[in-house]
Chain A
């Protein structure tokens, strides 16, 4: 069980034993998810496919590259996010076809368009293993 940062708008990130592999992989600098043999790549990673209920999902490496699918510049947020303000939040469409939500760093909002190439950068956030997008 990881120590939780205080004052965030959530209280439980860990444990998630069925997808512990995701956090273990992330700690080793690998961005991974699960793939259902019938339905394809799942996001967020799940041990049971939400579409067909199959429990045979396998862990796969993601390339970590894709493009901006939707974007916003957040100007106001609860105190937990104050240090980040203003921050860019995006839905990224990864090459494997999945939609992933993360902040975009090392970029100017004005330069980002729908379709702008991005990639995942693994880094800590609020003291926990996490990831952001950066321009590709």
Chain B
């Protein structure tokens, strides 16, 4: 295995992007990523991974990876679209990591994209429902928020957490997102905003939920030895882990409140990096719902099981705290264009480790972790990044 570095990242403006087509949105993030390198061009790229969950449903365009090749004028020798629902981005980064570390490619471009606001929001919700088990869950009225609401009810029973404590996670992420120029929502909110917003699935209100978004993110990976040719501050991918539970719906999960797939993916990434949770300076995690970020604190090892609510109250997950989580604003405030999310997490941690976080910079950060999930939290991808010495 040869070491791998990130030498370029790029993001588009996230939110409602009726001004561009799917292809144009893809090009926008890719162009930013190439500009972020010293002179790499699309024609130099040997491997292309496009993370996208549902371009067929949202934009009636299938086969989007080939679209990239035409829009960017590239002809990669390895090319794939990666579909893992909300974890498509993380899975695509992991594939690019494999392509480079194995020596099969000397450069890889990962683009994550989703254009969800093309359809009315009830239709977008319907599309997202397709991720649940059709026969045994969706048919009965399971939708993504209700799945995480069930998890929340179980967490409340087993360990105890209040709606106020969950709301604090949304408040923190909106505060961080207010400092992120690409974020969909750049407005700070209060605990009352969350508690007084419409109930979506008890105990989760509208402001406990991430939005429907358009957006794209890109990252360029090369062998670590070559990295300084393309960027003055390369960021190495030193840990990569992925795990899927032998369970599609919630019936076969060992626990709704300890996500076995996350614990295993995180353990794999930590052991590859030869680091521990306490070595992380920041984290970008998958806060599709506030309860998700809470459980992620515990399963990523930032605190003991059941102590997530205490960690929230301590303020230690704020920028400036012991382990800042989602300095980008997270899915909650930055937005959640499904296929782009996991790639954007890599982009945020890369910028933070270079010291380019601007008003949301985590001071002195050298090592960071990303976590991207899909389905009923039954599939997780974790990456650990460190600034190259």
Q: Which residues of A contact B (CB under 8 A)?
A: 8-13, 16, 43-44, 50-51, 69-81, 84, 87, 89-91, 98-103, 109, 114, 125-126, 128, 130
Contact = CB atoms under 8 A, between A and B. Distances in A.
A105 to B, nearest CB: 11
Contact of A73 (B122, B138, B201): B201
A101 B140 contact: yes
Contacts of A128: 139
B130 A70 contact: no
A44 B122 contact: no
Nearest to A43: B251
Interface stretch (B143-151, B169-177, B333-341): B143-151
B122 A13 contact: no
Please report whether the interface of chain A is mostly helix, strand, loop or mixed according to DSSP. mixed
A89 B157 contact: no
A13 to B, nearest CB: 6
B58 to A, nearest CB: 14
A41 to B, nearest CB: 11
Nearest to B154: A70
B137 A73 contact: no
B150 A70 contact: yes
Contact of A72 (B126, B129, B202, B206): B202
Contacts of A72: 146, 149-150, 152-153, 201-204
Interface of B: 122-123, 125-127, 129-130, 133-143, 145-146, 149-154, 157, 198-204, 206, 246, 249-253, 256
Given A8-B139, A74-B145, A78-B129, 8 more contacts: A10-B130, A12-B134, A44-B135, A73-B202, A76-B206, A78-B123, A89-B201, A101-B140
Given A72-B201, A73-B201, A75-B200, A89 B141 contact: yes
Nearest to B249: A101
Contacts of B249: 44, 101
A71 B199 contact: no
B222 to A, nearest CB: 40
Across the A-B interface, give the 4 residue pairs with the lowest CB-CB distance, nearest first.
Answer: A9-B129, A72-B149, A10-B134, A70-B150
A5 B132 CA distance: 18
B154 A102 contact: no
Contacts of B203: 72
A44 B251 contact: yes
Candidate in B141, B146, B250 with the most chain A CB atoms within 10 angstroms = B141
Candidate in A9, A13, A44, A84 with the most chain B CB atoms within 10 angstroms = A9
Nearest to A133: B140
A101 B153 contact: no
A128 B129 CA distance: 19
Candidate in A76, A79, A103 with the most chain B CB atoms within 10 angstroms = A76
A77 B143 contact: yes
Contact of B153 (A12, A70, A103): A70
30 contacts: A8-B138, A8-B139, A9-B129, A9-B134, A9-B143, A10-B130, A10-B134, A10-B135, A10-B139, A13-B135, A44-B136, A50-B246, A70-B157, A71-B150, A71-B153, A73-B201, A74-B143, A74-B146, A75-B201, A76-B199, A76-B206, A79-B122, A81-B141, A89-B146, A91-B251, A91-B256, A100-B251, A101-B136, A126-B139, A130-B139
